[in-house]
Every structure is written in structure tokens, then in C-alpha cells.
Structure 1
Amino acid sequence: MISKRFVQSVAAAIALTVAASASAQQVLKVGSTPTGAPFTFLDTKTNTIQGLMVDLITEIGKDAGFSVTVEPMQFSTLIASLTGNKIDIISAAMLATAARKEIIDFSDPVYPYGEGLVVPKSDTKNYGSAEDLKGEVVGAQVGTAYVDALRKTGLFSEVKVYDTIPDILRDVNTGRLKAGYADYPILAYNLSQGMFPEVRLVTSYKPMTVGTVAIGVRKSDGELLKKINASLAKLKENGTVAKILDKWGLGAKGG
């Protein structure tokens, strides 16, 4: 006859095995960028990546049953790092464009926006479109949808490519660029913090490239995408997403 103690020991061993297996599956590497506030940024006090998209993927993980470790990297390396299995998820200020959807899959929409335009503060012209800057030298961030969109217009004498948005702002600030293009909410956030006082965000400008930030996964990770979308929908419904957007000053537009 099998003793009660033996049954309990077997049950405990099975539980430990299952727990260990589940634990091994629960930690996913998330690629984020050290620039891109309020979506992602390097918090110099803690030396960690923080921001809206970090808060969001952390909350999604809690609901979906996985934890995350955030891997800092340049924006232009995110997709290659995902497809190369160096990370499992992209949670950054990345628009779900048609070109990117050919390479990776995206979650349901998180936050819609387009490019913003910045010029030196001394330039008071109310630019409405790219045509208003015909023949000028402008800048955009490497790896973003804006670079190709700007070049395809054929309007500019040169579209300079920069590693980060602060690099663009710096050259607009010093007058090396006539204008710079980058994610509208990131530009607005940087300027609202008092950075680059000689730069002006052109509120009259209408963006050419409008899309939505979303979470990226490999095309082979369909089950993970289903979990992310289910949790994202739940967090939108219960108000968690709205709270996160409000925390980072983007509550009026999030969806």
C-alpha cells in the first residue's frame, strides 16, 4: 500500500518541476531604447530603461503570466535583434508600418501619432507641409519610417540621418539643420522638459506618416502575440492603459 507521505512527496516533486519549468518560460527579453522619452528612456538615477512602453509591457506580462527583463539598444537594431533571437519582444516607440509588418508581427494599437517638425526658434514661419521646406537640408532618425518617406518626396537637398532624436535637436538648436523630423510626442516631451531652448515645435505642421505604436514579436511567436493582445485588451478595458498614458502625459490621444 502506498503511504500518504510518499504520495505527498511525489506531488511536491511534480509541483516543483512544473514551477521550475513555468519559471524558465516566464522571463522574456524586451528590447527598448535609451532615447525616446516618454515612451522609453535611460533613467540615469537607476541606470535602467523606463517609460510608457516599459510600464505597459510590464503590466501585460503580469496579466499574461510572464516577467520581463529590459535590454537597452539603439532603435535601428531592434528588429534585427528580435529576428536574431537576442530579444523576444520589442516595446519601444516603434510604429507598426507596412514594411515592418513584412518582417515581424505587431500587437493591436497602443498609441497613434505621426512625425513632428522642429525648426530653430528664430524661424517663426508656420510650416504646414514638407513642400514648405523644399530645397532645404533636414534631418531624421536612422531606422525610422520618416527617412524613406522624406527622401521619396524628392523635395529636400539632403535628408541627414542621425542616431538619436537628441542629436537631431542639437543640430537644429545650433542651426546646422534647417529642420528636423521625429516622433511628435517625443519631440514635445523633450521640449517640455526645457531641453534645447532654441528649438521650436511647429504646431501648424501636418504629418505625412501617421501610424500607431505597437508591441513587436517574431512571426513565429503567434501564441505570444495572442497572449499580449488578450492582456492589452483587458488592460484597456480596466483603465490600466489609460493610467499609464496619463502618467506620461499622453492620455488625451491614447487608444
Structure 2
Amino acid sequence: MRRFIQAVCAAAALGLAGPAMAQTAVKVGSTPTGIPFTFLDTKTNTIQGVMVDVITAVGREAGFAVQIEPLQFSTLIAALTAKKIDVISAAMFITPARKEVIAFSEPVYSYGEGLIVAKSDTRDYASFADLKGETVGAQVGTAFVEPLKKSGQFAEVKVYDTGPDLMRDVNAGRIKGAFADAPVLAYNVKLGTYPNLRLVQAYKPVVIGSVGIGLRKEDTALREKIDAGLAKIKQSGELAKILEKWGLQPAVNPS
């Protein structure tokens, strides 16, 4: 009888442990200000967007649950390395500098920077040189800040904490133009959130890269699971449906 009771207790313990192990929660750092990649949905008070849908779909394939943690873009890598979050799923380019600190999944989506100016400014700016001597802006922590500064074309490159701050200053005429993720700018212009802004269609991006899911370098097993899940949603067409849902154009081939 004693052995029978021990066996029943052991089986019950395994039964309780099984589902918990199968649905390990992974803390995902995402930003509230990167629509359509990530943004705060004020109706539900949750972070939504392309990269939330992607990591959720990948997690389903890889066997883990997703817990979204809202963070400012510039704090994501520090939060990851400090183990406050487990992965980053936001509009973050895979760059050599970032790869010195963290690891990335296979690419999710590729694009370049876009340029916004006041709607009243109808000039077809095609390059940095077309804005020579002007004051422009970019968001801190993005891959666009250093190329803008190193170009030597601008009177000043103002660096902003958030995308909305950046767009507000162009909208108010405080700076001539701003450079940021082209899909993010296009989505905001389409929404009409900043009615005085225009996305410059003639502009040719300088920094073309790929967004990936960020991980700590030592978390190789998790990276393998994420890459496998990402491959599945690419093959099934689910990734294409997610991109279409959020109005993203076909990916630009990174140079």
C-alpha cells in the first residue's frame, strides 16, 4: 500500500510539472513607441505590433509562452544583459556593434531609414547632401545616429529619447527633417497622427539592415528554438500574413 501511495504521488507530481515545463514563460522586451513593429494599444493597455505577433507565433512553435515587458528602445540591450528580460522583439537592426554585445536570431524583416519633413516642404530630398547645413534628428540607440553625425552634412543632429518626440519636433517645425525606420514613419504619416508631416518618397536609404530577435550570447538553446520557430512561420506563410496585416511592403534586400 505504501508503495502504491508513493507511486500515485509521484505520478501526480509529474502531471503537475509537465504543463509548467511545456509552457515556460519567456520575458520579451518590446517598446511602446515603434508602430507598426511595437506600440502601446491604449484600448487594451498592452504592447501590440509586428514583432509581438512574430515572437508570439515563434513561441507557439518553439513551445514557450510570451510575457511582454514594455521598455524604452535605448534600454533594451542593457535590460537583456542584466537578465531583466530574456529576449528583445522590437524594431532592432542586427548590426556588428550590437552583435559584439548580444546574439540575434535569423533576420525577420529588412528595410532602411526614411526621411520626414514638413508637409509644406515639397522638395524631393534624395540624400543627406540635399539637407546640407540643416538641423535634423534621429532617435537615440538607433543605427541611424552615427551615419548622420559622421556624414558631416548637417549643422546639428539632434538625438531624441523616443520616436514621437522626434516626429513632434518636425511636425512643429523645430527641426528641418528626421530620419527613422521607414516603416514606422510611413505608418505614422498614414495614421495622420502628425498632420504636418510628409514622408519623402524620393529619399534613398543609406543604412539598410535586418530586424532580428535579440538574445544573450550564452542562450544558445533558446536561440536554436527561436530560429526553428521562425523558419516554420516563414515556410508556412504565417510571417508573410503578419507583415501584410500591419501594412508592411516586401522586405528590402540588405546591402
- The corresponding residue for 1:138 is 136
- The corresponding residue for 2:113 is 115
User: For this pair of structures, how many residues does the alignment match?
Assistant: 253
1:1-255 alignment runs, 5 A limit:
7-20=7-20, 22=21, 26-253=24-251
Checking the alignment, whether the CA contact within 8 Å between 2:111 and 2:252 is kept in structure 1 is no
CA distance in 2, matches of 1:2, 1:87: 45
Checking the alignment, whether the CA contact within 8 Å between 2:36 and 2:49 is kept in structure 1 is yes
Checking the alignment, whether the CA contact within 8 Å between 2:87 and 2:215 is kept in structure 1 is yes
CA distance in 2, matches of 1:254, 1:113: 5
CA distance in 2, matches of 1:120, 1:16: 59
TM-score for the superposition, normalised by structure 1: 0.94
Checking the alignment, whether the CA contact within 8 Å between 1:245 and 1:254 is kept in structure 2 is no
CA distance in 2, matches of 1:254, 1:76: 25
Q: Which amino acid aligns with 1:197?
A: P
CA distance in 2, matches of 1:47, 1:191: 23
- Per-residue deviation, 1:4: 6.2
Checking the alignment, whether the CA contact within 8 Å between 2:26 and 2:64 is kept in structure 1 is yes
- Per-residue deviation, 1:162: 0.7
Secondary structure, counterpart of 1:145 in structure 2? coil
Checking the alignment, whether the CA contact within 8 Å between 1:33 and 1:74 is kept in structure 2 is yes
CA distance in 1, matches of 2:6, 2:171: 74
TM-score for the superposition, normalised by structure 2: 0.94
CA distance in 1, matches of 2:216, 2:3: 49
> Residues 174 and 14 of structure 1: is their aligned pair in 2 closer, same or farther, counting only changes over 3 Å?
closer
Identity of aligned residues (%): 61
- Per-residue deviation, 1:14: 2.9
Q: Which amino acid aligns with 1:53?
A: M
CA distance in 1, matches of 2:94, 2:241: 23
CA distance in 2, matches of 1:179, 1:205: 12
Checking the alignment, whether the CA contact within 8 Å between 1:242 and 1:254 is kept in structure 2 is no
CA distance in 2, matches of 1:52, 1:251: 13
CA distance in 1, matches of 2:10, 2:167: 63
Deviation per residue, 1:47-101 (Å, 9 max, x gap): 1101110011011111101101101010000000000101000000111111111
Q: Which amino acid aligns with 1:40?
A: T
CA distance in 2, matches of 1:254, 1:12: 52
- Per-residue deviation, 1:241: 0.6
Deviation per residue, 1:205-239 (Å, 9 max, x gap): 11111001110000010110000000100110011
Q: Which amino acid aligns with 1:139?
A: G
Checking the alignment, whether the CA contact within 8 Å between 1:242 and 1:251 is kept in structure 2 is no
- Per-residue deviation, 1:10: 3.0
Deviation per residue, 1:104-158 (Å, 9 max, x gap): 1111111101110011111111111001111110000011011111001111110
CA distance in 1, matches of 2:48, 2:86: 18
